[in-house]
Amino acid sequence: MPHWGYGYRVSSEKAAAMAKASLREVTPSPKASIEVCRQIQGMMLPKARLLLEDVVEKRRSVPFRRHVRGVGHRKGSSSGRYPVKAARHILNLFDNLQNNAEFKGLDPSKLRIVHIAAQRGRKLKRYVPRAFGRSSPDFQTLVHVEAVAEEI
């Protein structure tokens, strides 16, 4: 079993006022996950939760900064999309982060996201049988998402 760490180093003085959580090998798109993480970096946890709930309901879009060829413009922002699956997974991450903060005695309404990142994980390689004895690849890239929040 692999050992995973965090990409954010916490000093021992600040560790008491911080909470961490991570998701490993989940199935949303890596590109969408990275863009959602970029959007909510530095937000307060309740505000970020409201934003992601709006994305799930398709009321607000997430602006895409990379890979924007063919991505349409949305009302109120530049080119963007509604990455519903990535938003749902990150909402689950926020539930874990909030529970970890409450376990440490922190107030969840005063948490600010100081670090959130998504990285590509393992690639699941599958093949779909096709006509005339051929096959087509059906690859799926998994995603790792980690978050660190600090009480203000």
Sign of CA dihedral 54, 33, 144, 116: negative
Count of CA atoms in the C-beta half-sphere (13 A) of 99: 8
Residue boundaries of the structural domains of the chain? 17-151
Q: What is the pLDDT of residues 71-122, one digit of tens each?
A: 878 777 778 889 999 999 999 999 999 999 999 999 999 999 999 999 999 9
Token pair listed for 108: 């969840």
Structural contact between residues 114 and 9, judged by C-beta atoms closer than 8 angstroms: no
Specify which residues 116 forms β-bridges with. 147
- Reference 6, options 144, 113, 104; nearest CA is 144
Widest distance between CA atoms in the chain: 65
Separation in Å, CA 78 to CA 17, 61, 150:
36, 9, 30
CATH number of 17-151: 3.90.470.10
Structural tokens at position 146: 């980690």
At residue 15 the predicted structure's pLDDT band, cuts being 50, 70 and 90, is: confident
By three-state DSSP, how is residue 7 classified?
coil
What are the helix (H) ranges across the chain? Answer: 30-40, 45-56, 84-103
Which tokens in the block code for residue 60? Answer: 């607000």
Q: What is the pTM of this model?
A: 0.88
Whether residue 1 has pLDDT greater than 70: no
Q: Among all chains, which residue has been given the structure tokens 């997974």?
A: 89
